[in-house]
A and B are shown apart, each in its own frame.
Chain A
Amino acid sequence: MDRATEQDLVHRAQQGSVDAFDRLMSEWDDRLFRFLRLRGLSHADAQDTLQETFLQAWRRLRTYRDTWRFSTWLFTIAVREAGRRHRREAPEAPVAVAEEPSPLEHCVSVETRDNLWPLARQILNDAQFSALWLYYGEEFDIAEVGRAVGRSQAWVKVNLHRARRKLGDALEARNLPGRQISNAY
């Protein structure tokens, strides 16, 4: 969906069009759901959080300004809702030691088990992981990532770098390829 179409749908939804809002949801629900699962939410929790994200978006639609892409705004709400749910339901939960497949491993096919993202989820905190996914997975720019995770652009740059370094160290420890770290943003 191009930006003009998206903004038109947003405008119509702001005027009260449920159909326009439904089209926006159908455009973004898979990607938001995938992000919530990647964050470590169970299937049921990811569904609940996605539903709450869309409801919050509808209720606050008049506050949306097209300074940011609509997707950035949606992910901002999703990050906040995921954090709220995580704090409420697992305040002290350590990073899961995977006796059962993690939500992320469910998302990764058998053929791609050497995928870097499960490792990233394992070694990065929520904010770092979210920033990393939004930047590389959703191809947000630095400003959009900062907006979505509620941090400064400097924080995003620093933590993307740290995340890559951590991944590099972890890969080196496992003697896997991918040690070369880029500083490019």
Chain B
Amino acid sequence: MHTDIEQRLRTDATDIRGEAPQRVRHAVLDAIRNEAPERATGPGWRWPAFGVAAAFAVAVAIGFSQQSTPTVDATPTPVVAAEAVEAAPVAEVARGSVDAMLLAREAALEAEMQRVRRDLERIRGLVENA
């Protein structure tokens, strides 16, 4: 009597038992949750992506605030600085944290305050010389 090997392989496979211990899953879940905090809410690629995006956004903001141009006022307007920030990989910044955006906007505001101070000094000089 010959039995088809394929048939036996299929039917015999159903007799193979083996249950994974629950602690394996629990250990994996613990490991996932105990890795970097953002790992608990998503795969760990976001942190480096955020780091790069944040550094880029800050660098862009600082770069614009320090860039000198042959105009009377060397400081870019807040609008320009803000546009530079918007031009940064906003989606990645937003995904990572609002901190980078706040930092960039803070830099833009600081640039605006410096420009206003210089304008006031110029006006004061004009008034005194008048």
Point out residues on A near B: beta carbons under 8 Å: 14-16, 18, 21-22, 25-26, 29-30, 32-34, 37-38, 47, 50-51, 54-55, 58-59, 61-62, 104, 107-109, 112, 115-117, 120, 132-133, 136-137, 164, 167-168, 171, 177-182, 184
Contacts and interface: CB of A to CB of B under 8 A. Distances in A.
Contacts of B25: 22, 25-26, 29, 54
* Interface SS of B by simple majority: helix
A54 B8 contact: no
Given A18-B33, A34-B17, A58 B28 contact: yes
Contacts of B43: 14, 16, 58-59, 61-62
A25 B31 CA distance: 14
A116 B14 CA distance: 11
B16 A137 contact: yes
Contact of B6 (A33, A51, A58, A184): A184
Interface in B2-32: 2-6, 8-10, 12-13, 15-21, 23-25, 27-29, 31-32
A33 B20 contact: yes
A180 to B, nearest CB: 4
A24 B3 CA distance: 37
Contacts of B21: 33, 47
